[in-house]
Amino acid sequence: MTVKKTYRKISFRIVIIYIIISLFWILLSDVLLFRFFPESMFISMMKGIIYISLSALLLLYLMKQSWSVQNDLIAKEYVDDLTGLQNRSSLQKNLTMILQNEERFHLLFIDFDRFKMINDLYGHEIGDIVLKKVSDTLRDNSHIRFSDIISRWVADEFVVVLKNKSDHEVDLFVNSLLAETSAPIHIAGNEIVNHISIGSVHYPEDTTKSSELLRFAEIAAEEAKKNGGLTHVRYRKELSDKANRELYLEEGLKYAIEKQELFLNFQPQIATNTHQIIGVETLIRWVHEEQFISPGEFIPVAEKSGLIIEIGDLVLRETCINIPIIEESLGKELDFSVNVSARQFYQKDYIARTKQIIKETNIDPAKIVLEITESIIMEYTDFVIESLHELRKFGFQIAIDDFGTGYSSFKYLELLPVNIIKIDQSFTQSIEKIRTKAIVQSIISLAHNLDMKILAEGVENLFQVASLREMDCHYLQGYYFSKPLTLDNLIKYYK
């Protein structure tokens, strides 16, 4: 119900109560009192005074009540309960006003980089405290002026309107905010590291429409997120084109499973010494409206939309279903690597779902290598260590994918139950450089010392094969041996 309607209802009630009391007073004074005290000038004067005073007091009391109810309602309608900032309706209302009055302003869209994971891992209560702390930081920022607007747009998204500031002043604000909000937050014994992405749009330079202002700023914030987060991106036209393409992909992906547009390719993994196939990595493929769309393009969209969870299950299930077919056709036992994205891994029921698929398809989990990236490990280390131990205990093998591209801390290798390290293809492809060679050599030695297997990805030529053999790399994977193949081609070539 709107504030106006509720207020009208309350006012109507006051009038009714007032009428009832007046009638009661008339009954009491004129009918009852008159019986015992016949009318005199004094009595009728007193009656009048008492009546007027009582009515005035009553009216004052009722008005006060209604005002406080009205204020509460206004607060509820325009103030965000959790943070005390302006809410979405308030921002929209203010924006309409600003568009009429202001000549220039910046609108900033602020979005947490991984709030969903904070909620998933620590629960909503802690998530709320994080939001509250960040909104306090925002409010207390020294660059914010009284006339600026700070609002909570929805969930973990905030919108700030800075009036009459130069681009440089906006940069100062943004940089200080990025620094302040990325400090670890300590709640209930947890150290929560969190950061934000900021997208900004300028009125009137970028657009003059209020709906576009918000959308463009959001698109810019998404771009900032894609660039790794903890950064600021100013809106530009190409970002809209990119966002439209993503929307198209997301829409397509929603029905891709149903329409059976997704399928698997298998890329052989080779033993360096014997050149025999020892395993395959399953890589997903998508043909949509007769076009091949690369996983590099659609996996991030699937991750962002959450569709990766369903897709990830599909990949694992399909892999498991194909294992007996491949092993029987090739006449040998192999390892089967599947990629696990962060969004999947941080899902609370990831382990349960994964185990379930293995049970349903009746596959030995020791044949499955779960490939996780370094970024997964770096985020919520304790949770990840626990989860990986549980997966290992169940029987899965664990590989670290794209090793060397992330934060590469050797410390976690000691803590994690890892079986295989996969050297990222960027190292393989520049192995002729002395420095790269030295890095690759140390990664290989490290794996040997930790009793782990080591695989080099992206092997494209004989020189790379020879260098890696010389360095004692166990396994190789790359176009030199084979591109990812369809099931039929894998069986045809390796039979």
**Contact call for residues 108 and 174 (beta carbons, < 8 A):** yes
Tokens read off for 157: 């998204």
**Of 29-37, 118-126, 272-280, 452-460, which part binds ligand C2E (CB under 6 A)?**
452-460
The DSSP letter of residue 76 is: H
Instruction: Kindly tell me which residue out of 118, 221, 299, 388 binds ligand C2E, with binding defined by CB under 6 A.
Output: 299
The mark string for 300-319 relative to ligand C2E (x by CB under 6 A, - otherwise) is ------------x--x----
Helical H segments across 230-334, by residue range: 237-256, 295-305, 307-330
Amino acid type, 107: L
The mark string for 351-390 relative to Ca ion (x by CB under 5 A, - otherwise) is --------------------x-------------------
Tokens read off for 397: 């093998």
Tokens read off for 483: 């591109």
CB-count exposure of residue 21 (10 Å: 0-12, 13-18, 19+): middle
**Of 34-42, 45-53, 294-302, 351-359, which part binds ligand C2E (CB under 6 A)?**
294-302
User: Under the criterion CB under 6 A, does residue 484 sit at the interface with ligand C2E?
Assistant: yes
Cα separation, 167 vs 23, whole angstroms: 68
User: Under the criterion CB under 6 A, does residue 24 sit at the interface with ligand C2E?
Assistant: no
Cα separation, 409 vs 456, whole angstroms: 19
Instruction: Kindly tell me which residue out of 401, 427, 468, 473 binds ligand C2E, with binding defined by CB under 6 A.
Output: 401
**Of 17-25, 34-42, 468-476, 478-486, which part binds ligand C2E (CB under 6 A)?**
478-486
* Of 200, 114, 18, 105, residue with least CA distance to 376: 114
The mark string for 387-426 relative to Ca ion (x by CB under 5 A, - otherwise) is --------------xx------------------------
Kindly tell me which of 134 and 299 has the beta carbon lying closer to ligand C2E.
299
Residue 151 contact among ligand C2E, Ca ion, none, beta carbon within 5 to 8 Å by kind: none
**Contact call for residues 104 and 204 (beta carbons, < 8 A):** yes
SS3 category, 207: coil
* Of 323, 389, 320, 324, residue with least CA distance to 358: 320
Tokens read off for 5: 């309607």
Residue with tokens 């298998």: 266
Q: How far is the CB of 430 from Ca ion (least distance, A)?
A: 16
Q: How far is the CB of 461 from ligand C2E (least distance, A)?
A: 9
Cα separation, 185 vs 172, whole angstroms: 23
**Contact call for residues 193 and 378 (beta carbons, < 8 A):** no
User: Under the criterion CB under 5 A, does residue 339 sit at the interface with Ca ion?
Assistant: yes
Overall residue count recorded for the chain in this entry: 495
Size of the site for Ca ion (CB under 5 A): 5
Q: How far is the CB of 260 from ligand C2E (least distance, A)?
A: 16
Torsion of CA 374, 376, 379, 382, to 10 degrees: -100
Residue with tokens 């660059």: 143
Kindly tell me which of 149 and 358 has the beta carbon lying closer to ligand C2E.
358
Q: How far is the CB of 316 from ligand C2E (least distance, A)?
A: 9
User: Under the criterion CB under 6 A, does residue 321 sit at the interface with ligand C2E?
Assistant: no
With CB atoms as reference, the residue minimizing the distance to ligand C2E is 478
Kindly tell me which of 151 and 341 has the beta carbon lying closer to Ca ion.
341
User: Under the criterion CB under 6 A, does residue 279 sit at the interface with ligand C2E?
Assistant: no
Kindly tell me which of 12 and 479 has the beta carbon lying closer to ligand C2E.
479
Binding site for Ca ion (CB under 5 A): 339, 371, 401-402, 457
Binding site for ligand C2E (CB under 6 A): 267, 283-284, 294-296, 299, 312, 315, 339, 341, 401-402, 425, 458-460, 478-479, 484
